[in-house]
Structure 1
């Protein structure tokens, strides 16, 4: 078996002949990948927990003697969380490409843990919004560090289904948040001003467990080899292969190919910008369209779902969690069931299908709501159907962005499109729709939903015209590494 040829010194310009990318892609799907998914994919569970908790406790925040938020205040705090995710994603994404995947997914998790615990001690709108901002920064950073690590460790033939399933696990966190809110917001069990504070401690406790779970996750061998750390990369891939041999898996040496790379200590920002905005301009357009559409679609609707239930249907705060559970189930099952088709049918057909179907169903549901033709129960059923497809669409946006750009800029690309998409579609959306709900007009809320429909259908058209066929291809084939040495 070929070994990488390089010194352990991280010096720019050293030519490395490596088989590591090919050896990672030839692996069967095994226990190692399950553990990676469990330790890293739990990020989406945390995000789902955060989003659901704040959605479910919206009424409690309005009734809290210490806070007494209005619907607009709730929208502002949601936007503060998303603004933190935008800026945190950009900052931590840049660091992830420079310092490595493993260092950053510990830093971002710690940021989240401290901030979410601090939120439980909030005393007014400013403090609550500030702590939510830093909670979002931790989650935004997690997206970049974790997505890039998973992409670089999972074999190409399983990348689509794995990525969508992991992103769909957001809704396991949503279900956990919904169940937690049902208990913690029950004033018969817990004082009303204490229940919403305790909900944030769920995320803090869970993140401490995740910290321990991640200790054994290795650094990405692909990142190490491009940064001149060939011996470390070889040891990691050797340990991974030894694990598969112990589990009686057959590894075909005939599938191994050699890649020649020129090592670098870092990638200058001008080269990052050139790669994303010039060399891969069409992919950048696709990424921006997909991320913006799904950010508005999800954040504007889900963040304000509890407000719709309480404002238009009079659903009690401590009962809202029960209506979030079926909503979460549909969202989780969508990527899990449809995800395999992204590897079988292909990226472009599935992007077109999921974005267009969810956009049309959103418009239909919005019309039924505006015409007062649905009860709170049937509205929930409608949202389950809409987001079965919408969740797969949203998850596929992260898949598309994370595999469309070279390894050297992958984390920053994820953070950039997450930041721009969330900034345009996510930060504005919740505050805007909360304001529409405050008007008390169903027709006004319907207009907010129609904006989501237009964005989703526009993204489907752009995917049809420009999306790349990345299914089953190694990452190095989908996007040529900047460090690839010419033959």
Structure 2
């Protein structure tokens, strides 16, 4: 039994503010992961960092994201979305401020790990909160906006890094890190006062609190009977636990969400991280202007997400993800021609890859939030994020080795093969969830009616 006041509400100021506030986490992810890459140039010289030190600092955040998603997803389902929603941003502020004053490699590694944990925690926290507040017909698009914010954050980091490096030189690296602290504080303030998810509240039997939250956010009074029906429906599903993600239909959904996410992000993250190096392997330019080039690459990824945001709620999730994966394979396979390809072809292939990857990208957080019930929704999102980061870390670590030993052409073909696996997974397991309530999309196929209370109220309500 859904809460109709939430599922059928028109978009209003609250929804827009909540979307911006939730998008702040992915924006900071893109910004903080990218600004450290720019700052490392100045850090290496001033702090005498070795190649190993740089690798540790760069990998610490990815490891932290893996741990944060895996651990804090279940915590969010237990303690609630609203509490964790501000705590993790406070950690980002503190970690970013301390990074400005760090002087030793181990300090940067620890702080980057902590920042990564906070970022990994924010993914399931913010996405589950937004998914449980927005109307059904807008859910796919608004959840996709969160992914879009990642690329905007990354582009902003490279642009800021480029300007600061040009004006102040490499010695401005601490000021670069300070910008991350300021942005984290701004987004924390934006999140203060956000009400708790009504679905989570009714799932815990707190119907009075859910009624107050809906009144505060949407200025609508929901009959207690409707909330009791929704609470009974949530209780009828049962309080699923972490192990339920690996049983029955939820096992298939867990594998689907984690694998397609990993197959999408593995080549993308590697290409994104080493974009200037890869372009150099194709005979294109590199140097300090590579920061600006990376910012432009981010903008192309943003452009690819824009049409996908409209299509997921118009034509559906399944056709978007299946066709997008199929189209992404082609430019990567063409890049398998290596350095012999004309420059125009290389640029066209990179642009095509960035544009076509928008489909899987905007669904990275939509599917985990739609395919699992409220009691394990954040947990599922955290697990999917953690699985994806295994691929991101592997791709980031192995790509330089592959470029050196196998060459650019073979490396691109490997990326095409990984993307092909993503297409197979999506073709076999992607479900259509467009226009359905979270109660419908997260239920087991063929499940019996959830509760007599819910059914009776639905029959009485016009």
TM-score in terms of structure 1 length? 0.83
Deviation at 1:276, TM superposition (A): 4.5
Structure 2 residues not aligned, in runs of 5+? 453-462
Aligned to 1:65: 46
Contact 1:286 1:466 in 2 (8 A): yes
Q: After the TM superposition, which residues 69-88 of structure 1 pair with which residues of structure 2 at under 5 Å, given as runs?
A: 69-70=50-51, 74-88=54-68
Structure 1 residues 276 and 156: CA distance shift in structure 2, 3 A: farther
**Which residue is 1:434 aligned to?**
400
Which position in structure 2 is the counterpart of 1:49?
Answer: 31
* Contact 1:49-1:173 at 8 Å conserved across structures: yes
Q: Is the 8 A contact 2:321 2:360 kept in 1?
A: yes
Distance 1:226 1:79, change over 3 A: same
| 2:99 corresponds to which of 119, 122, 127 | 119
String of CA shifts for 1:360-389, please: whole Å, max 9, x gaps. Answer: 222323x25x224355x9755543331122
Who is 1:373 aligned against? 341
Query: Pairwise mapping of residues 63-462 of structure 1 onto structure 2 (< 5 A)?
Result: 64-70=45-51, 74-186=54-166, 189-192=167-170, 194-242=171-219, 258-259=229-230, 261=232, 271-308=241-278, 315-317=286-288, 319-365=289-335, 367-368=336-337, 370-373=338-341, 375=343, 379=346, 382-423=349-390, 425-437=391-403, 439=404, 443-462=406-425
Deviation at 1:213, TM superposition (A): 0.8
Q: Residue in 2 aligned with 1:4? A: none
Question: How has the CA–CA distance of structure 1 residues 204 and 446 changed in structure 2, closer, same or farther, with 3 Å as cutoff?
Answer: farther
1:326–1:378: structure 2 CA closer, same or farther, 3 Å change rule? Answer: farther
Q: Secondary structure at the match of 2:219?
A: helix
SS across alignment from 1:114: helix
Q: Which moved more, 1:307-316 or 1:24-33?
A: 307-316
* Distance in 2 (alpha carbons) for counterparts of 1:48 and 1:104: 20
Distance 1:55 1:448 in 2: 22
Compute the displacement of 1:73 (Å).
Answer: 5.1
* More deviation, 218-227/287-296: 287-296
* Cα drift, residue 419 of structure 1: 0.6
Q: Secondary structure at the match of 1:280?
A: helix
Report deviation, 1:350.
0.8
Q: Distance in 1 between matches of 2:408 and 2:36?
A: 20
Alignment equivalent of 1:465, drawn from 409, 428, 432 = 428
Per the alignment, residue 479 of structure 1 pairs with: 442
Q: Are the structure 2 counterparts of residues 473 and 434 from structure 1 closer, same or farther at C-alpha, using a change threshold of 3 Å?
A: same
Alpha-carbon spacing, 1:57–1:356, altered in 2? closer, same or farther (3 Å): farther
Q: For residues 218 and 465 of structure 1, do their structure 2 counterparts lie closer, same or farther at Cα, with a shift above 3 Å needed?
A: same
Deviation, structure 1 residue 239: 2.8
Question: Partner of 1:216: helix, strand, or coil?
Answer: coil
Q: 1:276–1:486: structure 2 CA closer, same or farther, 3 Å change rule?
A: farther
Any idea what SS the aligned residue of 2:195 has? coil
CA positional deviation for 1:258? 4.8
- Give how far 1:29 is off: 1.8
Q: How far apart are 1:262 and its partner, in Å?
A: 6.5
Give unmatched runs, 5+ long, in structure 1.
Answer: 1-18, 246-250
CA deviation string 1:247-278 (max 9, x = no partner): xxxx9xxx9995352777xx877x33124432
Q: Partners of 1:295 and 1:234 in 2: how far apart?
A: 39
Measured against aligned partners, the alpha-carbon deviations of 1:308-336 in whole angstroms (never above 9, x if no partner) come to 4578756222x122212321111112222
The residue number in structure 1 matching 2:460 is none
Could you tell me how far 1:115 is from its partner in structure 2? 2.0
Does 120-129 or 89-98 show the bigger shift?
120-129
Where 2:232 maps in the other structure, the secondary structure is strand
Distance 1:172-1:157 versus aligned 2 partners, 3 A rule: same
Q: Going by fraction, where is helix more abundant, 1 or 2?
A: 2
Aligned length: 445
Between the aligned partners of 1:433 and 1:77, the Cα distance in structure 2 is: 18
Query: Take 1:276 and 1:406, find their aligned partners in 2: how far apart are those partners?
Result: 14
Distance 2:367 2:129 in 1: 15
**What is the rounded CA distance, in whole Å, between the counterparts of 1:378 and 1:44 in structure 2?**
32
